[in-house]
Structure 1
Amino acid sequence: MAYKPSEAITWPFSLILLLVLSVVLACGCAMSVRSTPTEFVPDSRTGFDSELRMRRDVEIRLDTGYRRVISAGTRWKRVGRVSEGEVLKPVGTVFSIEGRHVHEAYLVIEDGLLRGFYLPAERAYSPLSSPIQLSGAIR
């Protein structure tokens, strides 16, 4: 059996090509952020009671596989309601959640639980599969 230089190059090249394509496909298949349209009702309350501050970091694991942290010290202002709870917008920063795309997100809190997010650009609500207790995290 004679040595063929083209076979020595083809096999490793094919393996590398297969690996590269696998990585590209895996990265391109992120889950979309699940959301449903909702009606946002603005809140005209102002003053101290309309603003909350995080006492500690709160880690959020999204159904999309991504992770977000609401940092200690961040301020959140009540800006309205959706049927799922009160809507709080970050003060002086932008908060986002990520799936196939990145979405600006406001917190939706009801009974001391982070229930999900209001997506203002989409006018939609994105629920968390497991609400997160915030009672020790906010003041």
Structure 2
Amino acid sequence: MTVSKEKQEALKKRMEALGIHEEDLIEKFILGSGSGGQKVNKTSSCVYLKHLPTKIEVKCQQERSREMNRFLARRELCDQIAEKLHQEKTARKREIEKIRQQKKRRSRRLQKKILEEKRKRSETKSLRKKPEEG
């Protein structure tokens, strides 16, 4: 089973959009393992990909065909890199929102409420003191 030209082109465009270049990839073909019998044990259809800038490694042995595994490995690599970029972006947004919340001024009503709670707490604590002799 081979991969259609449209799917290959779509994958190339996605790789370009994510900034993945073929020069940045280390690709190895290794002997597979597991069920499949003699065909799996004799052929190097298992694909190992490593993206050097991100140090992400992918190993694919889903299909018996090497070409199909190459396509699937690249697609998995794109998924992982996209997920990593998404996590970094959301973490940055969360950090910005946290700083914004910290800098935001409290409303007058909330400030009055906080001050009132502080006064009540102060009174409670002052009642704990030993009575002064005098």
**Is the structural similarity TM-score above 0.5?**
no
TM-score, length-scaled by structure 1:
0.29
With normalisation by structure 2, the TM-score equals 0.30
Structure with larger Rg: 2
Higher strand proportion, which one?
1
